[in-house]
Structure formats: C-alpha cells, structure tokens
Structure 1
C-alpha cells in the first residue's frame, strides 16, 4: 500500500516548489527554467544529474506548469478550509476535556456534621 509513498511525496514537494516559484516569477518562466535544466549538455534521461536538478519527471512538471491556470479559491472554500483547520486543531483539546465536562456538577456536597 505504501510502495510509491516516497516517490509521491517527492513529486508533491516538487510541485509545491514549482507553484511557489511560479507565484513569484510566473508559470512560463519556471517551465522554461526546467526545460533549460533538463536539456543542458550532459544531462538527459538516465543521466546521474537529471533527478537531482529537475526531479524524475521534468516533462510532466513542465506540462503541468504551462497547461493549467490556477484558479483563486472562492471565499466559501477558504472559510471551509479555515473551519476544518480549526476543528482539527481543537479536536485533541476537546477529547482531553471530555471526561472533565462529563464529571462536572456530579460531586456530592459534604455536610458540615461529618
């Protein structure tokens, strides 16, 4: 089940880096830089420098950069993501406090004569 986990994490990290670079420099500029790095002399499919410079699939990254235009998130989606993030962050606190909340107001008053 986890056979391709490391490769997928690496690929997602490369895409995240591509997205950040594209946000700063533009999608086409990042695609052009990837193309130049992957076609540099002495670098090609199977060459030892290719994965270190451009990842295992530079062509797929370039296609992704030039083939898609990111859409800004809608306000409702942003609000939903904020609520989900807060819920996940507060869940451990709620679980830890649940026993105390269930036991609240269950103590018996101590009489003065005892």
Structure 2
C-alpha cells in the first residue's frame, strides 16, 4: 500500500514538472528545482552510508541496544532479555535507505544473540 502511494506521488510530480516545462515560469522554476535536487543528492552521498555505496535493493539491518524495561523477556526462550534488537528492512539505492519496508523490535537473552 505504501509503495502505491509513493508511486502515485512520483507520477504526479512528473506530470507537474511536464506541465510546468510548457509554461514561461518553467524557464525559472525548473533550473531552481534541478539545482535543489542536485544539492540534496550531494548531501545524501556525502553522509556516512548505512550500506556500501554499491548496494541496491531490499536489505535488512539489525541494531542492538539494552532494553529499558527489566520485565522484557526473550522471544526465543522466555528468560530475562539482556539485548533489544531493532531490525529494519529497507529499500536501498547507492547505499542510502530510501523506503522503509518493515521494522520491529525483538528482546533476546545472551544465549540467543547469535
């Protein structure tokens, strides 16, 4: 559902840019928008990437932290959890996460961390 909405927004933007290109205002607006897109792309490429720069497609990342509640139990065995794993499934382009596909949290104990 989220992908369809994003695809509709992209198509609407292309239609808007195409209509704007046929007007007199397009001679001013389109170069400014193009410069803004180029600057935004440059900023994204200068940031530390979450993945290698050649990564493209769906990828999963796992971030670990300590649970902030003492009553968290391991999802595998039910013992007290020592680590909270936050997993993130994303669509990646040039090492930059573009679309969040899925995410969630799983508390685990030391025995089930690996």
Q: TM-score normalized by structure 2?
A: 0.28
TM-score by length of 1: 0.28
Q: Please tell me whether Structure 1 or Structure 2 has the larger radius of gyration of its CA atoms.
A: 1
Flag the structure with higher helix content: 1
